Amino acid sequence: MSSLAVVVPAYNESEGLNTFHQRLAATFDTLDLDCSVLYVDDGSRDDTWQVMEALRARDPRVATLRLSRNFGKELALTAGLDHVDADAVVVIDADLQDPPELIGTFIEHWREGYDVVYGTRASRAGETGFKKLTSSAFYRVMDRLSQTPIPRDTGDFRLLSRRALAALGQVRERQRFMKGLFTWVGYRQKAVVYDRDPRFAGESKWNYWRLWNFALDGITSFSSAPLKIATYFGFAVALVAFVFGAWVLLKAILYGDPVQGYPSLMVVILFLGGVQLMALGVLGEYIGRLYVEAKQRPLYFIDVWHPPHEAEDGTA
Ligand code: UDP
Ligand code: MG
């Protein structure tokens, strides 16, 4: 029988985890597959780990993994994906915003021969207008800038075939913008549209600062367009400054220059200074990322790993 492994990154999700597991286990029972789930505790501060361990004690299909500290969702996900071995792998959030029941549909498409099946949100209940607005702006910018088309309104909820998982496993960059990487590996990809539910319990771990940084990571790891924009902008400004300089010089030669020109001087200096700082900032963003990659640190550390029980029949 083919196998399915579900990877669930969780950070401070103890309140909702039992309900999540109930719904996931119910979904497992409808599937004609050898199912297992790997819960990844991303250094939670509440009793998420205890809840996971309790689930593992009750259900042999549960495996657990605890990171040595909070590494962030992208790395928790990576750690999880590194520790599963199955014909199909599904990634899903622990907060029930992504309905586990949809996994059945993912599996159908996987059986049709798709390698990556991803959930695209038709609606996002329980999220503020501002969040929807900024998120749609982000996708629009990404669309223009990135060479890899990144599907809109698509989270990390998706299924990967064995070869897509193996391909992703070879990508070891540190600034991991998973949405982009999932698409980047290629193979046959398929979207499934669904309605996103509000969070079941607890609250989102993403504030706007985190989201902004996430967006920066996405843009800088999938596009060097900002560098180009900075260059062209710098060129354009330099050209204008050159023409203006020539004009000032010519005027001084032709008509002489009694001490005027303080305003134009200031404007030019400030403007050029501003443009330079901006271009330096863009450079800095990329250099900072090169620096992080150059250190070649491991992506994460494992604290505890309980792999799934060996060959037990999947009913508990
Ligand atoms: N998460 C994680 N590590 C973190 C932050 C979040 O593993 O540092 C998990 C979280 O427990 C959840 C998923 O990532 O299962 C999505 O997080 P959240 O619901 O906060 O994001 P949102 O749905 O608001 O984008
Ligand atoms: Mg969520």
Average pLDDT, stretch 181-203? 81
Query: pLDDT tens across 90-146, in order?
Result: 999 998 888 899 999 999 999 999 999 988 887 776 677 787 788 888 888 877 877
- How confident is the prediction for the chain on average, in pLDDT? 84
Residue type, 238: A
Query: pLDDT tens digit string along 7-23?
Result: 999 999 988 899 999 99
Q: How far is the CA of 307 from the centre of ligand 1 (A)?
A: 22
- Edge to edge, the sheet with strand 116-124 lists 189-196, 116-124, 154-161, 88-91, 3-10, 34-41, 62-67, 302-306
> In angstroms, how far is CA 208 from the centroid of its own chain?
15
Residue pLDDT, tens place only, 222-238: 777 787 787 778 778 87
Question: pTM of the prediction?
Answer: 0.72
Question: Among the atoms of ligand 1, which is closest to the Cα of residue 40?
Answer: 7
Phi-psi region of 138 (alpha: psi -120 to 50; beta: other; left: phi over 0): alpha
Asked whether the predicted pLDDT for residue 276 surpasses 70, the reply is yes
What's residue 196's pLDDT? Answer: 77
Instruction: For residues 198-205, give the mean pLDDT.
Output: 73
Residue 315 pLDDT > 50: no
**Residue 14: partners with Cβ closer than 8 Å, 6 or more residues away:** 44, 46, 47, 48, 50, 51
Residue 294 has pLDDT above 50, yes or no: yes
Residue 153 is predicted with a pLDDT of 76
Ligand 1 centre distance from Cα of residue 298 (Å): 22
CA of 284 to the centre of ligand 2 (A): 31
Q: Best of 38, 95, 177, 179 to mutate for ligand 1, by most ligand atoms within 8 A of CB?
A: 95
Centroid of ligand 2 to alpha carbon of 162 (angstroms): 26
- Return the residue whose CA atom lies nearest to atom 14 of ligand 1: 73
Return the CATH number of the domain spanning residue range 3-205+298-306. Answer: 3.90.550.10
Strand partners, 120: 154, 193
Of ligand 1's atoms, which has the minimum distance to the CA of residue 205?
A: 20
The 10s digit of each residue's pLDDT in 57-98 is 899 999 999 999 999 888 999 999 999 999 999 999 998 888
| 187-201 CB burial, b ≥16 within 10 A, e <16 | eebbbbebebbebbe
ipTM, two decimals, is 0.92
Which residues face 5 on adjacent strands? 36, 89
Pairing of strands 3-10, 154-161: unpaired
Give me the helix-helix angle, 225-255 and 208-222, nearest 10°.
Answer: 90
Atom 21, ligand 1: which residue's CA is nearest? Answer: 204
Residues with CB under 6 A from ligand 1: 9-11, 13, 42, 70, 72-73, 76, 93-95, 97, 204-206
Ligand 1 atom 23 nearest Cα: 204
Highest mean pLDDT of the ranges 130-139, 159-168, 183-192, 290-299: 159-168
Confidence of residue 259 (pLDDT cuts 50, 70, 90): low
**What is the 9 CA–ligand 2 centroid distance (Å)?**
11
Can you give the residue ranges of every domain in the chain? Answer: 3-205+298-306, 224-295
Q: Separation of 236 CA from ligand 1 center, angstroms?
A: 43
Tell me the C-alpha to C-alpha distance, in Å, between residue 24 and each of 49, 99, 104, 124, 186.
Answer: 18, 9, 11, 21, 28
- Which atom of ligand 1 sits closest to the CA of residue 199? 19
What is the pLDDT confidence band of residue 316, given thresholds at 50, 70 and 90? very low
From CA 192, how far away is CA 52, in angstroms rounded?
Answer: 29
- Burial per residue of 126-159, b for 16 or more beta-carbon CB atoms within 10 angstroms, e otherwise: ebeeeeeeebeebbeebeebbebebbebbbbbbb
